[in-house]
Each structure stands twice: as C-alpha cells, then as structure tokens.
Amino acid sequence: MFIYSIPMGVKASVLSRIFDLCEKSGQFALDVLDSLKNLSQTNFLSDFTCTLLLTILPIKSVQSQILRLLNSAILTALTDNGIILESSFLRGLCDVPDDPTGLILNICEQCVSQSVKHTSHGLILLSFELLRTATISSPCNINRSSRLSAKLPKPSSSPFLNQRQNCVWTREDIMNVIANVLWSESSKPVALKLVDLLSDLVATCPSQIAVLASRLDVLLDSIGLIPIELFTGLVHALLPLIRAGNRLADVRDVVCQSETNPMVRVRAKLFVNLRKAASSPRIQSRRTAVACFLLLLKHLK
C-alpha cells in the first residue's frame, strides 16, 4: 500500500531497476517471486505486488510462473467476490473482498509513459492469458479442447467455493445445526444469521433442502414460542419451497398432490400450523400468524 505515497517518477525508476536486476539474474527473479508467493490473498492482490509482478512478467525465465499466479489469484478473487455478494449470510460473516477489476484498471491508468513500458507489456501478456483461459473454458469449447483445459492454471482453493453435489452428509449436518441453534438460541443474533444461511441453501439446492425440511418441524410447530422476527424470517427463507408446493397443489395429478412430495409437505405443514396459530388464545401466536400470512400474501399473490 505504501507505493501510493511514492511519486510516479520515483516509482517507475524503482520498478525499472528491479526489472533490470531480474533480467540479469534469474536467481534474483526467482527469489522475488518466492517472496511474493508467501503473501496472503489480500496482500497478493495489492497495487504494489501486482505492479511488481506485471513489471517482471516479460522476463521469460519467470513468465509462466507469474502468469499462473496472477491468473489463479484473479479468478479466485472474482469467484469469492461473486459468492459473497450473492449470500446475505456470508456478507454478514465476512468482508467483501476487493474486486480485482478495479485494481487492474488502476494499474492501467498508471501506464501512461515510456518509463513504465515493462508494466504495460506485462498487462498485455496478462490480458491475453485471461482471454485464453476464458475462451478455452467456455461451454462451446470444452469438448474439443479438454487436453488444453487440463494444462490451464487451476485457481487456488477458496473457502467459498461450492461443495460438490455428492456431499449430501454435509447438507444434513448443516440442517441439523440450523434447526438446533434456531430452537436453542432463538433470541440471539446468531439465529437470524442462520436463517440467512438457510435462505441461501434453499435457493441453491431446493429439492435437497425440501427433503431435509422435516428437521424444522419443531420450529414450525412452535409458532408463538420463538420471536416473531425469527419465525417470519424462517417463512421467508422457505418461500421458494412454498411457491413450488403451491404449483404442485394446483396440478390434478394425485401423485403430485401426495404428502410424500417434500415441497407439498413443507407447504401443508406451514399452512396447517398458521391456521392453528391464528385461532390460538395466545396473543403472540396470533401476531406471528398474521405477520406470516401478510408475508405470504405479499410474495405469493
């Protein structure tokens, strides 16, 4: 970050000097590269680090390694950024990482003179590498370029990458934890965070979550015993399943209307409990039922 305080002329001179040293000594270039590899993801995608890597990128001895590093870091950052922005649960859990697009554009704006020609050359090489990656990995080219795709640099592992579909036990464990915490910690802020997580899970894999929704029965049977904000949040998270259950209920096929259909079951369970709560002598139960009916009318009309 300190590079912002360096005058542009001095900065260009320093980068040019580093380029000359790396070009003369392949070992020095490798030492610089090894030092940068040990940086965290946040520090790696900084103005200073990226500018330095782009400056020495035209050097043949380290070119392939730098391209792999930058390509991997940029793709991982873009993936993480998109996943966090699409998840209210993750937005509340961690900070949204900086978009690498802005960083690259900022470096481009600095390449306005001959003194930073090596950085400009590095940007061009990186641009072609990113274009090649995007072209080869596009759906229309997957079959005919599978061997080339296998040689592409793979993005580094990210804590936010989606689980594979065969990890069914992971979803079951998550649903058990959500149900247990929502019941035992219903008055604490963590409960609302887990409702956000449940909403993300329903949006990502509705069929699988519908099958596991029986874990939430104890909550759906307890209208009035948990805070109204939490219960309405739970209903909001289940809206995609309720909407699908409504469509199935409209079909005249007896099989589709059977209670064995998990989405129909979720819808029926909720509606039966809301009707019971609406006529309950408990004021809190009636208030929660009314709030949920209004929510359903708003989103299902």
Asked if pLDDT for residue 146 goes beyond 70, the answer is no
Task: Quote the pTM value.
Answer: 0.49
Task: Please check whether residue 33 is in contact with residue 62, taking contact to mean a CB–CB distance below 8 angstroms.
Answer: yes
Residues 191-247: tens digit of each pLDDT:
888 898 888 888 888 888 888 888 899 999 988 888 999 999 999 999 988 888 877
> Which residue, among 219, 215, 142, 221, has the nearest Cα to 186 in the 3D structure?
219
Confidence of residue 148 (pLDDT cuts 50, 70, 90): very low
In this prediction, residues 153-176 reach a mean pLDDT of 56
| Whole-number Å distance between alpha carbons of 19 and 129 | 21
Q: Chain-centre distance of CA 190, in angstroms?
A: 20
Choice among 64-73, 96-105, 140-149, 234-243 with the minimum mean pLDDT: 140-149
Residues 14-32: tens digit of each pLDDT:
888 888 888 888 888 888 8
Confidence of residue 35 (pLDDT cuts 50, 70, 90): confident
Amino acid at 68: R
| pLDDT attached to residue 227 | 92
| pLDDT attached to residue 258 | 52
Calculate what percentage of the chain has a pLDDT beyond 90.
13
| pLDDT attached to residue 78 | 84
| pLDDT attached to residue 253 | 52
- Token look-up 């040990």 returns 38
Query: Token pair of 130, please?
Result: 């990113």
DSSP character string of 193-253? HHHHHHHHHHHH-HHHHHHHGGGGHHHHT-TTTS-HHHHHHHHHHTHHHHHHHHHHHHS--
